[in-house]
Structure 1
Amino acid sequence: MTITTKQFRRAGIMPYFFDERGVKKWAPHNIKKALFNTFEGNIQASSTPIPAVKIFYQNRPHFLPINSADKKHPLKGRWQLQLENTQTVISGPIKTRGINLPKDLPLGYHQLQLQSAGKVFNCTVIVAPQSCYQPQALREHKKLWGTFLQLYTLKSEQNWGIGDFGDLKKFLQNLAPFQADFLGLNPIHALFPANPDSASPYSPSSRQWLNIAYIDVNQLAEFQQSDEAQAWFNSAEVQQKLTELRQAEWLNYGEIIPLKLKGLRFAFKKFQQNPTALSSRQFAQFVQQGGESLQVQATFDALHQYLADRFDNQWGWDFWAKEYQDYHSLAVQQFRAEHQAEIEFYAWLQFIADQQLAECDEVCRQQNMRIGMYRDLAVGVTGNGAETWNDKRLYCLNASVGAPPDVLGPQGQNWGLTPMNPHVLQQQAYAPFIELLRANMKHCGALRIDHIMSLLRLWWIPKGDSAVNGAYVRYPVDDLIAILALESQRHQCLIIGEDLGTVPKEIVGKLKNAGILSYKIFYFEFDEHGQSRDLQTYPYQAMTTLSTHDLPTINGYWRGYDFELGEKFGVYPNPKILDILQRDRVRAKTQILQRLRQHHVPVEAKISAELGSSVSNKFVHQLQTYVAQVSSGLFGFQPEDWLGMTEPVNIPGTSTQYANWRRRLTANVEDIFADTDIQHLLKEVNAIRKE
């Protein structure tokens, strides 16, 4: 079948893009054709007189054009608009060109119905604000600071070998006296309890529900009150296992998750036997509010465990027997009828996780943190998890998303995530996107959106192909930003957009005008002369950090340890590119040292720009204190750099070669905050940001 340029354009497949050097890169025809086929025909624009959804901005003209197939005989009839959450209905006659809605419509989601010649057409009318929410402190141009952490890396004498919400609560309580304004979390989305080694927080089963591995089992009254649970927990065998898991340098998900699930089953059994009126009512309300989405997640986890107990290699729904590969199938509904208690168990785990996260949020409020926790929204979901299992039409299952080749990643990146079909998303009046935002704006003061350029475009790759063989696919960026602004204002949730990599010019202004904070990495910021960027020239509407989960720690960056690991694990197949990157690193470090000396930072003589140079904790702390002077509204740094750690938590471009998402911190929560050097660092940063 011949596919025309017009068809590619209508599908949103972009013919070219500009790489990080400004060079135009054209997408090969065969790649565009392969991607076009992944839409499976779901790209047709609506042929109805009005679209499925129309977005307006508050206090702007609200004119909805009507698409009349017969120009000689325009539609006649009436329209009516049901305002959100009210009994108010506005109506009027259909005009020749379209519908003039009142200019003063309130913010929200309203339902328009058009009636003509016995036919009824529906449109969701969304009225959005001009920009996202920003807290009062940012509106007053204050300089805020905080930390961000990978929750699973936290160590304590109480957890079960993985950081949990109990550890998070203690971390917040210890951080608060230093007057921090926020604490950022890695994505805490639902993963795969029946496949515990699928550990990447950025490759979730569902982004609407929580990772139950973060439940603090010890905190549960049902666990404490169960004689059976306590006898099991206090046995020599379990205590020995917990000691081993707590002391291990790397997380062993294969042992941690089954152990936690066993403990949670004891607690759930006690809940079933003796629920209090309050807890029973709260759980019932949670289930009701969760609706079908919660039932899908709980059913998926229950069925996955059921199949994994009986058969090998049941990694996700695409490995299951065919009759189970769709939530709506008869076999799945029969499973639900026969395993109601098991499904209720997984729904209860979501209830408990939600409660414990809410308690952490409450600690932030009690401590008057000006932002509190910020959550992290992953760019997509895996193709064989709960979200795709439920709505296959929304997702293009024969494509995955990633990033095109660049200097840092010459092979490109294939993240193994399944993209939403932007056309189906519009046809569904953006309901999945709205639900996603609402789920992730709960119990927090800000939301970091990973790879926020995905609102404009995503690098699609035919499933099973190399990341080199991809093309960008467009998304309805203005509509998505408008909805983001509406939900942000409703939840009073600040939005931080991770805009690293090649950022198209057309989205920069859109994000800025919408009040979305940019994301700046100190390592990457150099001026037009190649010098380390003056901290006072950073934009205020940004969060500046020294590193992220995808980058080396300060210690690792300075030593060039990331290059050592990259060579070891085949990240740099071209030695010429590696040589360029290493020379660039030396130049960058030279510029950073020059800036430090300009600002009279007393750098030790042994600290040099050469790769493999020694690094002291004193220098690591000096660098963090220096960057804290940045003019950006938010400054964030991570416990790994407080502790002077070298080992990264993740190496992009690797999967099984390195133990990604398993490296723990080198000190317990209590020991981190008992360290006098760390105390001094936090006090100094707070003083700088409060100047």
Structure 2
Amino acid sequence: MTQSIQGSEPSILEHLVAQNGIGTEFIDAWGNPATIDKSNQQKLLQTMGYPLDDERALEAKLEEEAIFEWQRPLNPVYVFRNGQPLMLTIRCPIGDAAQAHTIRLITESGEKSAVKFNPVDGELLATQEIDGIEWHQYQVRLELNVDIGYHDIALFLGRKKQQVSKLIIAPEKCFSPKAVEQGKKLWGLSVQLYCLRSERNWGIGDFSDLCFLAKQAASLGADFIGLNPIHQLYPANPDACSPYGPSSRRWLNYLYIDVEQVAGFDSKSVQAWMKNENVEQRLVALREKDWVDYIAVSELKLDALKLVFDEYKTRFLSKQTKQKKAFDAFIETGGESLDGLATFEALQMHLKSQGKDYWGWPVFPDKYKDANKPAVRQFTKKHAEEILFFKFLQWQAQLQFEQASKVATDAGMEIGLYRDLAVGVSDGSAEIWSNKSLYCTDVSVGAPPDILGPLGQKWGLPPMDPKVLVEQAYQPIIDLFHSNMHASGALRIDHAMALLRLWWVHNEDDASQGVYVNYPVDDLLAILALESQRNQALVIGEDLGTVPDEIREKLQDNGVYSYRVFFFEQAEDGGFFSPSHYPVQSMSTLTTHDMPTLIGYWHCDDLTLGKELGLYPDPDVLQSLFESRHENKQEILNTLHGHHSIGEHISRDVNYVGMSKDLNFGMQKHMAGGSSALLSLQLEDWLEMDKPVNIPGTFNEYPNWKRKLSRNLEEIFSRADLRALAGDLTHLRKQASS
């Protein structure tokens, strides 16, 4: 940015910062006020398309934006809560202000109604002269009775249509199950689905394993199974396996399909392939591995599914069967999003087969770098069969997930399955490729420095541009919430603060040089409430880290459940809060996927491993972490003994206490007596495992997202000690309910 702009028009920058929701200050993780550097704000504005180095170009862009905004009669979308007055912002030339206008409403059910008004009868908000014509902005109240839902409104001046916009009417808050509303305290198990071992899967947990897990857990008193994000990853690049860096958050990971449950698997051709390729022997080897071999698993599953698809087409899709009608309906409902994903995946496979770079759209040939390019349309015609195959995988994945959900609810679970929504998609993803204008690809989402990450975090996930999101009438968010709540009893939103603001870091900068960008939180929460009620899905907001009180209050008011992790619930004096003091409107847990297991925590395995991996280059910092851990463990013992959650045979002196089954189970039962409506416990801790599933801050240093459970599912639920633990948890939860 030039000095002339800074010196002569400092208000321009302030205006742009405010207009684009860019933050100027925040409270850091230590409770101290922090100011965002202006140079970082300016760099962010440049990535948003503002030419700060060219005064004339900047003025032209600002004038263009102002004219566009003023000459648009309606906003792209209006969001209201049910029962709230419909106050619409409307713009028109002064000469039309006293003329009769009409708003025509078409509800999502197809009902039509209209209301007439003169803008001048509303409240005048602002005026602006453009090319000699004075434009007025009014706030007009519409006397329309509209039910909750997504509706269309059209503005007419006389018989001339001016504009069509979306009208969203949302309920007051998110859904909560009747049992929870009545005070029942529930517990459930959280799992990384790919980690599940069984005697029959193909080297990775699948939806049939999930059915078994849900049924068995329900029989022991569990009311939900919490899942990792099961978003679609990359069929052409299976080792890109982080569930938090998906290709699409709207669609499912095909690797979770149980191939043997797809109609056509029993065909002669598939069975001959199984025999000729020694598939059974290969499967035994994959099951025995302690880490998921994504490449080998993907190769086997894709080969099998292609053969099954060929058989399925012959049996069902070559004629007018109920299966063909259902598949056609699925494709129609999936629309452009499904088309984009399937085309992207077929294109990746094609480029891979040609020996070209394929990991994501940034390395595609120029003619393929955007979903809307002519060459892509030509590709879809030439490779229609491959594209149809990837659509078929999504259909089968959805059918099997729906079946797992039905098994969970039929088994008596109050909530059933709950899904996890990742905060974004990776930079080479299909989701970005299909909607480039929505994402700021020169930026990554992350987090400012905090206690767990003193250098800050940078996640490699390009953020949505909040202004473009509004221009697209929130449709990407609507689709995202709807698809992730479908057939689910609850949805956990990872980094729920994203509804209010996100830490944007330019790709060339360190995480500490980020800037907070605000999002239309009230509108997003309204849409979340609407989809929650429609899908009958409870919502849990992961509100950890640098979270302002504002968002926690908004989440609570909107019926979103807080997320409370035992190890983070610590008072200023170092003591741990009793779970009986946690908010009722919350889900509590001992550990998360980003933390060590109970054994790993107690034995400081995470710190030792971090040292080996070079995560703690400063020995003094590492020593302070060991000392802090020792102090925390003593405080945990004090808490557990103080609440009689463990027996006196466990010493009160941390120097004499290692992690044992009694201490492990005692901690879980300590949580069960708490006040949170929901309690989630990890299967890893049931099995007393030591290795973590993920080490934040590592990429190739550790095999993240690959570690399996130490035991098969069939064995887990036959163990007397675990069945007894489940019985104790159920009893304690009932006691806490009364």
Query: Do the structures match in fold with TM over 0.5?
Result: yes
Amino acid at match of 1:32: Q
Q: Which residue of 1 aligns with 2:579?
A: 535
User: Residues 445-484 of structure 1: matches in 2 within 5 Å?
Assistant: 445-484=489-528
Other structure's SS at 1:401 match: strand
CA distance in 1, matches of 2:49, 2:653: 56
CA distance in 1, matches of 2:658, 2:206: 34
Other structure's SS at 1:417 match: coil
Q: Which residue of 2 aligns with 1:154?
A: 196
Flag the 1:439–1:656 CA change in 2: closer, same or farther, 3 A. Answer: same
**Which of structures 1 and 2 has the bigger CA Rg?**
2
Q: Which residue of 2 aligns with 1:375?
A: 419
Amino acid at match of 1:12: G
Give the TM-score normalised by structure 1. Answer: 0.96
Residue 116 of structure 1 deviates from its aligned partner by: 2.9
Flag the 1:136–1:73 CA change in 2: closer, same or farther, 3 A. Answer: closer
Q: Does 1:342 align with 2:386?
A: yes
Q: Does 1:275 align with 2:299?
A: no
CA distance in 1, matches of 2:619, 2:511: 20
Q: Which residue of 1 aligns with 2:135?
A: none
Other structure's SS at 1:146 match: strand
Q: Which residue of 1 aligns with 2:33?
A: 24
Q: Does 1:212 align with 2:254?
A: yes
Q: Which residue of 1 aligns with 2:280?
A: 239
Flag the 1:595–1:587 CA change in 2: closer, same or farther, 3 A. Answer: same
Other structure's SS at 2:305 match: helix
Other structure's SS at 2:513 match: coil
List per-residue Cα deviations over 1:536-574 (Å, max 9, x = no partner): 111000000001100111111111111112212222334
Q: Does 1:116 align with 2:157?
A: yes
Q: Which residue of 1 aligns with 2:291?
A: 250
Other structure's SS at 1:381 match: coil
CA distance in 2, matches of 1:234, 1:316: 35
Q: Which residue of 2 aligns with 1:332?
A: 376
List per-residue Cα deviations over 1:203-232 (Å, max 9, x = no partner): 0101111100101011223112x2121122
Amino acid at match of 1:58: N
Counterpart of 2:76 (choices 28, 46, 52) is 52
Other structure's SS at 1:308 match: helix
> Structure 1: where are the runs of 5+ without partners?
none
Does the 8 A contact of 2:104 with 2:112 survive in 1? no
List per-residue Cα deviations over 1:619-674 (Å, max 9, x = no partner): 21111111111110000101100000010000111111110000000000001111
Residue 238 of structure 1 deviates from its aligned partner by: 2.2
List per-residue Cα deviations over 1:261-291 (Å, max 9, x = no partner): 0011110011112227222222111111111
CA distance in 1, matches of 2:99, 2:610: 64
Flag the 1:177–1:65 CA change in 2: closer, same or farther, 3 A. Answer: same
Q: Does 1:5 align with 2:17?
A: no
List per-residue Cα deviations over 1:388-441 (Å, max 9, x = no partner): 101110011111101111121112111110100000001111111001111111
CA distance in 1, matches of 2:85, 2:277: 71
Q: Percent identity?
A: 43
Counterpart of 1:615 (choices 659, 665, 676) is 659
Does the 8 A contact of 2:106 with 2:113 survive in 1? yes
CA distance in 2, matches of 1:396, 1:258: 33
Q: Which residue of 1 aligns with 2:104?
A: 80
Alignment RMSD, CA only?
1.9
List per-residue Cα deviations over 1:456-493 (Å, max 9, x = no partner): 00010112432122111100001100111111111111
Question: Which moves more between the two structures, 600-609 or 19-28?
Answer: 600-609
Amino acid at match of 1:311: G
Question: Which moves more between the two structures, 53-62 or 526-535?
Answer: 526-535
CA distance in 1, matches of 2:577, 2:99: 60
Q: Which residue of 1 aligns with 2:222?
A: 180
Other structure's SS at 1:591 match: helix
Q: Which residue of 2 aligns with 1:586?
A: 630
Q: Which residue of 1 aligns with 2:54?
A: none
Does the 8 A contact of 1:408 with 1:581 survive in 2? no
Amino acid at match of 2:74: I
Give the TM-score normalised by structure 2. Answer: 0.90
Amino acid at match of 1:258: E
> Structure 2: where are the runs of 5+ without partners?
6-11, 51-60, 123-138
CA distance in 2, matches of 1:262, 1:289: 27
Residue 78 of structure 1 deviates from its aligned partner by: 2.3
Does the 8 A contact of 1:79 with 1:94 survive in 2? no
Q: Which residue of 2 aligns with 1:671?
A: 715
Question: Which moves more between the two structures, 477-486 or 240-249?
Answer: 240-249
CA distance in 2, matches of 1:126, 1:473: 24
Residue 682 of structure 1 deviates from its aligned partner by: 0.8
Residue 180 of structure 1 deviates from its aligned partner by: 1.1
Question: Which moves more between the two structures, 231-240 or 494-503?
Answer: 231-240
List per-residue Cα deviations over 1:73-103 (Å, max 9, x = no partner): 5665222222221222122123312432236
CA distance in 1, matches of 2:603, 2:380: 54
Does the 8 A contact of 2:199 with 2:714 survive in 1? no
Question: Which moves more between the two structures, 215-224 or 569-578?
Answer: 569-578
Other structure's SS at 1:223 match: coil
Flag the 1:159–1:440 CA change in 2: closer, same or farther, 3 A. Answer: same
Question: Which moves more between the two structures, 195-204 or 240-249?
Answer: 240-249
CA distance in 2, matches of 1:218, 1:77: 61
User: Residues 427-506 of structure 1: matches in 2 within 5 Å?
Assistant: 427-506=471-550
Residue 500 of structure 1 deviates from its aligned partner by: 0.7
Counterpart of 2:599 (choices 552, 555, 568) is 555
Other structure's SS at 1:674 match: coil
Q: Does 1:300 align with 2:300?
A: no
Amino acid at match of 1:10: Q
Does the 8 A contact of 1:604 with 1:619 survive in 2? no
Q: Which residue of 2 aligns with 1:566?
A: 610
Residue 528 of structure 1 deviates from its aligned partner by: 4.5
Other structure's SS at 1:579 match: helix
Counterpart of 1:164 (choices 201, 206, 221) is 206
Flag the 1:205–1:33 CA change in 2: closer, same or farther, 3 A. Answer: same
Does the 8 A contact of 1:554 with 1:644 survive in 2? yes
Q: Which residue of 2 aligns with 1:129?
A: 171
Q: Does 1:266 align with 2:307?
A: yes
Q: Which residue of 2 aligns with 1:361?
A: 405
Amino acid at match of 1:417: L
Amino acid at match of 1:353: A
Q: Does 1:65 align with 2:86?
A: no
CA distance in 2, matches of 1:309, 1:175: 43
Residue 603 of structure 1 deviates from its aligned partner by: 5.3
Amino acid at match of 1:595: T
Flag the 1:115–1:227 CA change in 2: closer, same or farther, 3 A. Answer: same
CA distance in 1, matches of 2:26, 2:450: 13
Other structure's SS at 1:234 match: helix
Residue 534 of structure 1 deviates from its aligned partner by: 1.7
Question: Which moves more between the two structures, 615-624 or 156-165?
Answer: 615-624
Q: Which residue of 2 aligns with 1:602?
A: 647
When the two structures are aligned, how many residues end up with a matched partner? 689
List per-residue Cα deviations over 1:595-634 (Å, max 9, x = no partner): 1111222154468535x96322222111111111111000
Flag the 1:499–1:214 CA change in 2: closer, same or farther, 3 A. Answer: same
User: Residues 636-675 of structure 1: matches in 2 within 5 Å?
Assistant: 636-675=680-719
List per-residue Cα deviations over 1:1-37 (Å, max 9, x = no partner): 4461221121111112111112222222222122112
Q: Which residue of 1 aligns with 2:240?
A: 198
Flag the 1:606–1:664 CA change in 2: closer, same or farther, 3 A. Answer: farther
Q: Which residue of 2 aligns with 1:140?
A: 182
Other structure's SS at 1:115 match: strand
Question: Which moves more between the two structures, 246-255 or 633-642?
Answer: 246-255
CA distance in 1, matches of 2:723, 2:112: 57
